[in-house]
Amino acid sequence: MQAHPSKSPVPRRRRLAVTGIAVAALGAGALTITSANSALAEGFCEVEYDVLNDWGSGYQASVSIATEDAIDGWQVEWDFPAGTTVASAWNVDWSQSGTTFTGSDVGWNAQIGAGETREVFGFVANGSSALPDRLTVNGEICDGSVENPTGGEPTTDEPTDEPTSEPEQGTPIERHGQLSVCGTNLCGEDGEPVQLKGMSTHGLQWFADCVNDASLDALAEDWESDIVRLSMYVQEDGYETDPAGFTSLVSGLIDEVTSRGMYALVDWHILTPGDPNVNLEAARTFFAEIAEAHADNPGVLYETANEPNGVSWTDIKGYHEQIIPVIRERDPDSVIVLGTRAYSSLGLSEGSGPSEVVDNPVAADNVMYAFHFYAASHREDYLAAVEAAADRLPIFASEWGTQTYTGDGANDFAMSQRWTDMMAEHQISWTNWNFADDFRSGAALEVGTCPNGPFTGTQNLKPAGEWIRDQIRGD
């Protein structure tokens, strides 16, 4: 029994359920492989193998086990299609020999309660995402084709592109209204924590033609983006060359983004020089004008300094404490995201860490701290440090990529998934770098996509773009 889910365009979420007993009720869009056989023992023998993302040469999947009787300890085994090899896997003790994959629990995820379905591990593989053969759990064959001598032919439902869950009603701004910081979370007007996910533009001095009616429609409707970060460089041919022009560009884009129901994060993109105080006067002017013009718009968030670097937290904090009042005098209830030391790494990239902020926070309410990372560069130690800090600081990951900190190079989707899982767990909002057609791997769009698109679907997306679109859509 082999099932080949379609490869392109990437479906929203494909779920392959292989079951030896009655078919589980699966959502629309599921590819269900059914055996009518009832000869298998009552009790557990059900595995859900979800292909979360398929980029052609490889894919990412998660594996869940459903059981009627409680179990303590599991081992799964299957045969991949020839040529498929696991590149990395998490929450599982695994090995692969030839086509045979074996994975067992890692202790803390050994137990599955009676009647429970538990997602037990995930992996990234190179090769075909076709359904494996001879799928077993604790030696029990769950693949109906093997244990199905009398049970009739398996049936296969074609996958569809339908979402597996109902779309949420209303735009992000309609659903959450004016945001505020509550404890370490971002909360909607109803006081409930929200996690916003979306894209950052590239530098508007270079890639403003990627931010137009069609692309913003696509971000709102096709990508289901909650937020767009408007990245306005100060140097590098940015704001300083034409303050009035860039202010008006950003101001217009805030209206375009928020009128589509997405939040707009206004990024004062300092980078070189790394001391935000160098641009303090310009920042005052810019934020005063923007806050004045958009004070009544509940969809605006401010990011006062992209990536301070080579400068102490004390100096950065001093800068924020001068800019925050400029915004608050005009727009009192907005959330402000504050750049942190060492390229907004919460100090980590200069040998410090989140505790310098915890111990010496900015004197203001309704603020969050920026954390930026690039998954191929910033790995376990960063992940652990940020996760530990998530209960102590309101963190907003306003820039991150699936590749190295150059915004280029190979994507590390396995590490990226670890990051997005952690951020989902802690409701850390994020905007990914970047929505542009730059040649680098971190630019979501293929070169030449802007300004004409099309921006919907995946035809003009690079691998990072496809992957991140799925993440934003929650596929």
- Out of 95, 241, 406, 459, point to the residue binding ligand IDC (CB under 6 A): 406
Q: What angle do CA 188, 190, 191 make, to 5 degrees?
A: 70
Torsion of CA 405, 442, 6, 49, to 10 degrees: 20
Min dist. Cβ of residue 53 to ligand IDC (A): 23
Give whichever of 146 and 282 is closer to ligand IDC, judged by the CB atom: 282
Phi, psi of 77 (to 5 degrees): -150, 145
Stretch that binds ligand IDC, among 111-119, 146-154, 208-216, 400-408 (CB under 6 A): 400-408
Residue placing its CB nearer to ligand IDC in the complex, 126 or 406: 406
Residue number with CB closer to ligand IDC (44 or 371) = 371
Pick from 215, 306, 398, 429 the residue near ligand IDC by CB under 6 A.
306
CB of residue 311 vs ligand IDC: minimum separation in angstroms?
A: 15
DSSP state for residue 193 in the 8-state scheme: B
CA distances from 280 to 272, 277, 325 (A): 14, 5, 13
CA–CA distance, 255 with 474 (Å, rounded to integer) = 26
Q: Which is nearer to ligand IDC, 331 or 412 (CB)?
A: 412
Instruction: Please report whether residue 440 would count as binding ligand IDC according to CB under 6 A.
Output: yes
Residue 329: CB atoms within 10 A of its CB come to 12
Measured distance CA(158)–CA(160) in Å, rounded: 6
**What's the closest the beta carbon of residue 80 comes to ligand IDC, in angstroms?**
35
Please choose, from the candidates 325, 323, 272, 261, the residue with its C-alpha nearest in 3D space to the C-alpha of residue 298: 261
For ligand IDC, the closer CB: 107 or 351:
351
Contact call for residue 50 and ligand IDC (CB under 6 A): no
Positions 338 through 357 that interact with ligand IDC (CB under 6 A)? 343
Block residue for tokens 């309660």: 113
Query: Which residues lie across from 136 on neighbouring strands?
Result: 77, 141
Q: Residue 90 corresponds to which tokens in the numbers above? A: 């998490």
399 touches ligand IDC by CB under 6 A: yes
Q: Which of residues 185 and 429 has its CB atom nearest to ligand IDC in the complex? A: 429
d(CA 316, CA 335): 18
Nearest residue relative to ligand IDC (C-beta): 407
**CA-CA distance, 21 to 209, in Å (whole number)?**
54
Among 407, 453, 463, 465, binds ligand IDC (CB under 6 A): 407
Report, as residue numbers or ranges, the catalytic residues: 307, 399
Provide the mask over 447-466, with x wherever binding to ligand IDC is found by CB under 6 A and - wherever it is not: --------------------
Question: Does residue 308 bind ligand IDC (CB under 6 A)?
Answer: no
Amino acid at 324: I
Per DSSP, 221 falls in state I
Distance in Å, CB of 456 to ligand IDC, minimum? 24
Written as six digits, the tokens of 77 are 């085994």
Residues 197-256 that bind ligand IDC (CB under 6 A): 236
Q: Residues with Cβ < 8 Å from 445, sequence gap 6 or more? A: 210, 435, 436, 437, 455, 460, 461, 462, 465
- Exactly one of 289, 303, 437, 438 binds ligand IDC (CB under 6 A); that residue is 438
Binding residue count for ligand IDC, defined by CB under 6 A = 14
Contact letters for ligand IDC, residues 253-292 (x by CB under 6 A): ------------------x---------------------
| The binder of ligand IDC chosen from 74, 371, 405, 430 (CB under 6 A) | 405
Angstrom distance (rounded) from CA 156 to CA 204: 48
- Cβ proximity to ligand IDC: between 38 and 406 the closer is 406
Query: Whose CA is closest to 7, among 53, 49, 48?
Result: 53
* Binding-site ranges for ligand IDC (CB under 6 A): 236, 271, 306-307, 343, 372, 374, 399, 405-407, 433, 438, 440
